[in-house]
Amino acid sequence: MSAARRCTLTILMLLMLAGQALASQISHHRFHSDTLQRDYPYTLYLPDGYHDSGLDYPVIYLLHGSFGNDRDWMTRGALKKIADRMIRQGRIPPAVIVMPGSRSWWVDGHNEPAGTAFLEDLLPHVEFVWRVVPKREWRGIAGLSAGGYGTVNFALERPELFAAAAALSPASYYPLPPTNSTAREHPAFLTPDKRFDADLWQRLNYPARLDRYLGQDYVVPLYLSAGNRDVFDAVGHARRLQAALEVHQPGQVPLEVFSGGHSWRVWRASLGPALDFMFRYLAAPIPTR
């Protein structure tokens, strides 16, 4: 048994002995984003015993898909049920999970600077308000579809921030999104005259970040998944991404193919394995300093 999992079991036993109610909490929050000049919404998962444990926690940022919102992972992704079960079973340590909302594809697109807001506003806010360890070893990022696109971009652009990542059916399409992708009708990539901006897509997509990422020393282990009947060929695009990263981090870019399409069925099935994978690399809770 790993040190992280021994720590998890010890924490849970102490909480039970102390008579704490083992009930995770879901809440919805907003704060003012200077970058966006509006409120930034996010949904928050706090693990069992958070308020009285005397611990600081690892944090996972879990991103939604195109035209989604911060509540999708709760209402459609079974996040609470899956995280509660995995923590109870000792498969992952107690963790804080932040599910932010974005009007963009997690990029500084034509409609708003969502990438900058995520990095410069949301992360500092979470680390100031909630008891999470503000260091790379305790910070992970994951997302589905457009959120997987954002996850890959953030991990490659800022590898010093994230110790692990997971991209579920990532919409990291190369060289351009397929004609049936919502990227082609999303305000993030539409010019003022409502045309899809192919040049912007290519400037923001992961290949534009690859050389810099491959040339530095940080490694962000990345779990990939996709459905075998995905209408956007997410498996094919994920294989291309996997091949591009494998040279930098052999054995740390697994791809799991599920039965299904570009759907919540696949993303719910992927979430548990994604969390399992990330917590091979993320640190466990530590006493509050």
Amino acid found at 168: L
Residue 248 reports pLDDT greater than 60: yes
In this prediction, residue 252 has a pLDDT band, given cuts at 50, 70 and 90, of very high
Residues 278, 95: Cα–Cα separation, whole Å: 12
In this prediction, residue 289 has a pLDDT band, given cuts at 50, 70 and 90, of confident
Residues 79, 159: Cα–Cα separation, whole Å: 25
State which residues form the domain around 62: 3-287
What are 129-171's pLDDT values in tens digits? 999 999 999 999 999 999 999 999 999 999 999 999 999 999 9
What's the pTM value of the predicted model, to 2 decimals?
0.92
Give how many domains the chain has, as a whole number: 1
Asked whether 126 and 95 are in contact (CB, 8 A), the reply is no
What are 255-273's pLDDT values in tens digits? 999 999 999 999 999 999 9
- By percentage, how much of the chain surpasses pLDDT 70? 92
Residue 8 reports pLDDT greater than 80: no
The pair of structure tokens assigned to 53 is: 């444990």
What are 28-82's pLDDT values in tens digits? 999 999 999 999 999 999 999 999 999 999 999 999 999 999 999 999 999 999 9
Q: Of 7 and 131, which is predicted with more confidence? A: 131
List, in order, residues 6 or more apart from 196 with CB less than 8 Å away: 183, 184, 185, 189, 190
The pair of structure tokens assigned to 124 is: 């500092």
Asked whether 125 and 183 are in contact (CB, 8 A), the reply is no
Q: Give the model's pLDDT for residue 173.
A: 97
Q: Give the model's pLDDT for residue 23.
A: 85
Q: What is the mean pLDDT of residues 209-218?
A: 96
Let me know how many helices (H) and strands (E) the chain has, helices first: 10, 10
Q: Where are any strands of DSSP class E within the chain?
A: 25-33, 38-46, 55-56, 59-63, 96-100, 139-144, 164-168, 222-227, 255-258, 286-287
264-278 and 79-88 helices cross at what angle (nearest 10)?
Answer: 30
Q: Give the model's pLDDT for residue 21.
A: 43
Residue 22 reports pLDDT greater than 90: no
- Judged by average pLDDT, the poorest of 14-28, 38-52, 86-100, 195-209 is 14-28
Tally of CB atoms within 10 A around 120: 14
Q: Of 211, 260, 199, 208, nearest to 234 (Cα)?
A: 260
**CATH code, domain with 266:** 3.40.50.1820
The pair of structure tokens assigned to 61 is: 């940022």
Residue 18 reports pLDDT greater than 50: no
- By percentage, how much of the chain surpasses pLDDT 90? 92
